[in-house]
Structure formats: C-alpha cells, structure tokens
Amino acid sequence: MSKFFFLWLLGNSSLLFSQEVSKKRVVEVLSHLASDEMKGREIGTPENETAALYIAQKFAENKLDYCVGHSYLVPFNYRGKIVYNVCAIKKGKSEKTLAFSAHFDHIGISDNPRDQVFNGADDNASGVTAMIGLADYFKTKEPDFSLMFIAFNGEEKGMKGSKAIVEIPDLQTKHQNIAALFNFEMVATVSQFGPNALYMTGDEFSDVDELFNAQSINNLKIQPDPHIGQQLFYRSDNVSFVKKKIIAHSLSTVDMTKAKHYHQLNDDLEIVDFDNLTEIINNFGKTIEKLNPQNFAPKYTDKVSFE
C-alpha cells in the first residue's frame, strides 16, 4: 500500500464506514421517544406533537425531501384538532419506491401513583427508531429504489394517521410507486426465532419475505408470522395501504403469546435489546442496498383480502 493511499484511506475512513448506524444513535433516539417527558405520546396531546417535531428534525438531519407540501409534518383532523403524520422521501435511481413506516403515538398516562407514564419503548418507539435508523443509514447513499419514510399518528385510536395519509390526493402517484411497505411494529426484543430475525405478518399473502431473504446480508431473516390466528396483518397500519392494493406488511420481533409489557407500564427501556435492534437496522439497510426493481418486484397471492 502506498503512503499516499494509506493517508487517503485514513482520512476518509469515516466516510467508508458512515453507513453503519451506531448503538449510541439507536439508544439516543429510542430513549428520547420513550422518555417520561413524552408522557406516552397520546394523539392530541402536546407531547405527541413534540414527538412529531422530533421525528421531523431527524428527517431534516438526513436532508430528506418532503412527501407533500413544504413540511415533513402532514396534518389531518382528529376530533376537531389538527394532528400530524410525518413523511419524507429519499430520491433514488428509480421512481419505484420502498416505504418504511412505524406509528409513533402510544396510550398516554395512567393514574398509577408509582408510575404514571406508558412509555411505549417497544410499542412503538422501537419501530420509529428502526425507521429513523434506516434514514440515517442511507444519508450519503443513492439507492436503486427511492425510499419513503412515514411516521404514523393515531394507530392506537384505530389507525387514524395511516387511513388519512393514504387518501391524500397529492400523494397518490407516490403511493402507487411503492413496490413494498415495511411497517415496523414492536422490534425492541429478540424474537422467538433468535437474534437478527423479524417475522412478517401475513407472510402467506405475498412473496416479500422470499424475495428479501434471497438478498439478505449477514443472515438477517424475515420469518413467517407465528401468530396467524391473531390476524395481526389486518390490525396494524399496513392494512390502510393493503386496502389500496399496495403491498404492505408489518415486521415485528415481539412474541405476542408471552409479552407481558404490551400496553403495560413496564414497556420501558429495560425491555429493549439495543444490540439486537442495532444489528437488525444495519443488516436491513445493507440488504435494501442490494434490492432493485428487477430483483425485488413482490406480488400479492390470491389469499389476501383487500376489504
């Protein structure tokens, strides 16, 4: 190795490895969203709006484009009040788009004098952190697909935010360009399949998992839905896009048969396996880098219901 090349390599090492999302960043984002100061991020509260603004700030740090209008904040009406989804675009080499989403609202506060805040670290600060982590990962890259990042509001009140954003007239062309939407829903724990793995709700309804796994990096694996009887595919924000015949699945790690923190006060930072979540974010990003409109064009099967 020449002296000059060595000096160049040394000086540019941060660029060469800049795509890696650090555990420190993951801890920072998730801890902020799940803090007591956020008071459970219930839709319609000042803290919910603060969370939306925080996500918009992270999108701005990654120099993403607006999905619509002149702001990352996409307003809709909830019980006579203006609340916000948050949406951003990373332009790639193609108009065909991969979307990454997660809901950022939770269920607020309780009257328990010992612990009043439903922090929602797993549900769903973890999913939002995964989405922001992917935006971080692609900050200096030009992927083959364009990338859309959507933070939904009001999931806990009947998927209000995803139902609103999927109907915005000025977004219809962008929605129809979506090859697949990956909705992160509770990814803070190590899955029942082991580390570095997620399961996909409604895996029998499309070939997303097979096509993704064929390109996966570092043995990242999307596993089949282990909770088919619970109909999770139709119970999260992905279904708002399914009804538009857009391929959309939720990805999770939570074991719904054993999770004692779901909608409980103990859904706090102690639940989170930050090492596993960081590994998943980075391996997911590396896999997305390999995908293009030629090797990743998923289709629904005839088993899915669009109603």
Tell me the average pLDDT across 167-171: 98
pLDDT at 184: 98
Cβ of 306: how many Cβ atoms within 10 Å?
A: 10
Q: Is the pLDDT of residue 1 over 50?
A: no
Task: List pLDDT tens digits, range 282-306.
Answer: 999 999 999 999 999 999 999 999 9
Give residue 4's pLDDT band: very low, low, confident or very high (50, 70, 90). very low
Residue 164 in this model has a pLDDT that exceeds 80: yes
Residue 74's pLDDT is 98
**% of the chain beyond a pLDDT of 70:** 94
Type of residue found at 30 = L
State residue 292's pLDDT score: 98
DSSP state of 148: E
Do 142 and 256 contact (CB within 8 A), yes or no? no
Residues 6+ apart with CB under 8 A from 104: 33, 41, 48, 51, 52, 55, 86, 124, 125, 128, 151, 152, 153
pLDDT computed for residue 261 by the predictor: 96
Does the pLDDT at position 16 exceed 90?
A: no
pLDDT of residue 220: 98
Instruction: Among 7-11, 17-21, 194-198, name the one with the lowest average pLDDT.
Output: 7-11
Average pLDDT over residues 143-149: 98
Q: Are 162 and 86 in contact (CB under 8 A)?
A: no
Q: Which of 80, 82, 75, 100 is nearest to 90 (CA)?
A: 100
Confidence of residue 229 (pLDDT cuts 50, 70, 90): confident
Average pLDDT of the residues of the chain: 94
Band of pLDDT at residue 39, cut at 50, 70 and 90: very high
Domains and CATH numbers, the chain: 27-290 (3.40.630.10)
